[in-house]
A and B are shown apart, each in its own frame.
Chain A
Amino acid sequence: MRTLLVTATLLTLLSACSSTPTKEQEGAAVEDRKPTAAAADAAGGQTGKPRPDAGISGKPLDAQTRAVDPLKDPANILSKRSVYFDYDSNLVKDEYKPLVTAHAKYLSQNRAAQLTIQGNTDERGSREYNIALGQRRADAVKQMMTLLGAPAAQIETVSFGEEKPRAQGEDDKAYAENRRADIVYRGE
């Protein structure tokens, strides 16, 4: 039942979006058809009966009728938000290019979306120098996105340095987990 309602709503919305008449107007058009429809009708040899698809252009719906936010869909690369870095490096490795590309594309296609890239470092060394290193990592991801066409105005870069580690511990595994830039959309 809900699916029917959703479909009906979507159809109504879609038809409202298009420049063709609404359902109600469709009723009126039965008596008072548009010239093109009438001509086609005449050409088709049928008169009097309304052709169900005459004068309507609809957008095809895919099988999913429920809208899922791609940013949160685990099946969508856009739900992946972290880029990891080698020690002392702010180079975005090849394995993260698809992720960065996907977010860049999302920004280009959604001009109202805004995101922040948060740079992080492992805990070794001066806190303030690590703020600056984390910033470099965030900036490297931003630069890749803007080169791929994402508008710079939609991206802010900040750094947490070593202050907000995801992994506690002083071993290489924890350090590697913390050398990271995270993509966070506004409103999250």
Chain B
Amino acid sequence: MIAMARSSSFVRRLVLGLAALLCLAVTLPARAALTIDVVGAGANQISIAIVPFRAEEGLKQGITPVIAADLARSGLFKTVDPGGMVPVPYEPEQVNHPQWRARGADAVVIGSVAPMADGRYDVRFRLMDTHRQTQIAGYAYFVPAAELRHIAHRIADIIYEKLTGDAGVFSTRITYVVKRGSQYTLQVADADGHGAETIFTSNEPIISPAWSPDGTRLAYVSFEGRKPVVYVQSLITGDKRAVANYSGSNSAPAWSPDGRRLAVVLTKDGGSSIYLVNADGSGGATRLVSSSGIDTEPNFAPDGQSIIFTSDRGGSPQIYRAPVSGGAAQRLTFDGTYNVSPRHSPDGKGFVFVQRNGGRFNVAVQDFATRQVQLLTDGRVDESPSFAPNGRMILYAANLGSRGILAAVSSDGRVKQRFLENAGDVREPAWGPALKK
């Protein structure tokens, strides 16, 4: 009797233990892993009213709250109270433009959701101009429940584009590393911090994640082998392979615009130098840049013809540009003694970087043509800046006290966002590409 009790309690513990392990493996956070504060506003804010869609309240995932939050977070929109209109407008002929104008709204969003026979949802929206009293845009989507949140972001993108002239980035994704105790996790989340997925977990550091241009792969540096090695992992299949694992240190991966190669920094030939390797790990490494100093942090121009990178060949770390086909490097930064971490803007007209001033490290942008520098942040240690694919926001790593957080700033410096993670230290962010329409 006692023997049976002992063994069944062992089995019970085993089962509970396994269940706990499984739970760890499949649990996704119920609410956002990152929550976002906004301060500041664009030069001219657009006033917009977003009327809750017909039949939306029955859904597990609301649509208009996501749209409203996206637009407000950009700092370019002021939301107008949509309530109290009688009748509630769902169709264009129901929109009372003079009444909306009286509330101060320049634009109104209306729409509806209806379940379809096959289990999907029919989601429709229209963007109305209260001044011209016309429809600006209208679309219908047929999506499964799991994609309702994504469709809300796509609708917010369209609204943003129609009213500001720039492509929206609400439906894009970001990647970052979370450190909790001695555990490092590489994560991918929506641009609003929701839906965080774990891509890779390790007890050794992970740094420098980089998105492939088509958004299906991440390159990153992992220290799991007790030295830095560059890996590429598919976000679709999970396949992970080392693409640069030479003697010495391997780091700083940067994708070529055609997604076939990576610029990396290797020390195999003595000193940190920039090489090209194939993104599938085949073949060897071709040296790209040579100097007597450190060359690191390569980043391809959007046209793939040149790279910008950090080099201390002149005695202090500064930013240089060199043609990929070979040829002399040209120095770009001349303010101060520490300019590092350059990344091109999507239009290729300038770059974002980190500049040290006194004891602080801040994010700045420089225009190639005019060489003008604009400082955008004033934190203590701001690092790892990257542009959103529309060139309008810059995501970077900052500190809140001694805790690492993510932050974003608009490229004109006016709008600032702070992303707060529930627990842990967040660092090394990178903004993902726009998805193909």
Contacts and interface: CB of A to CB of B under 8 A. Distances in A.
Contacts of A87: none
Interface string A141-176: 000000000000000111111011000001000000
B356 A156 contact: no
16 contacts: A124-B361, A128-B208, A128-B265, A128-B297, A129-B310, A129-B341, A132-B265, A132-B272, A158-B227, A158-B249, A158-B267, A159-B228, A160-B205, A160-B223, A163-B205, A163-B223
B411 interface: no
| Range for the number of chain A residues in contact with chain B | 20 to 34
A132 B296 contact: yes
Contact of B207 (A118, A125, A127, A139): A127
A180 interface: no
Contacts of A132: 265, 267, 272, 294, 296
B48 interface: no
A126 B297 contact: yes
Given A128-B208, A128-B251, A136-B294, 8 more contacts: A116-B226, A125-B361, A128-B341, A135-B248, A136-B271, A159-B228, A159-B249, A160-B228
* Minimum-distance CB pairs A-B, first 5: A132-B272, A158-B227, A163-B205, A132-B294, A126-B340
A173 B271 CA distance: 28
| Range for the number of chain B residues in contact with chain A | 20 to 34
B402 A126 contact: no
B84 interface: no
Interface of A: 116, 118, 124-129, 131-133, 135-136, 139, 156-161, 163-164, 170
A125 B381 CA distance: 8
**Candidate in B247, B296, B338, B384 with the most chain A CB atoms within 10 angstroms:** B296
A133 B205 contact: no
A45 B88 CA distance: 130
Contacts of B252: 128, 131
B190 interface: no
B415 to A, nearest CB: 25
Contacts of A164: 205, 223
Contact of B341 (A116, A126, A159): A126
Contacts of A131: 228, 249, 251-252, 265, 272, 296
B349 to A, nearest CB: 23
B129 interface: no
Interface string B261-284: 000010100111000000000000
Interface in B182-219: 205, 207-208
Contacts of A156: 247-248
B308 interface: no
Contacts of A159: 228, 249, 267
A154 to B, nearest CB: 13
**Candidate in A116, A125, A156, A170 with the most chain B CB atoms within 10 angstroms:** A125
A129 B228 contact: no
Contacts of B294: 129, 132-133, 136
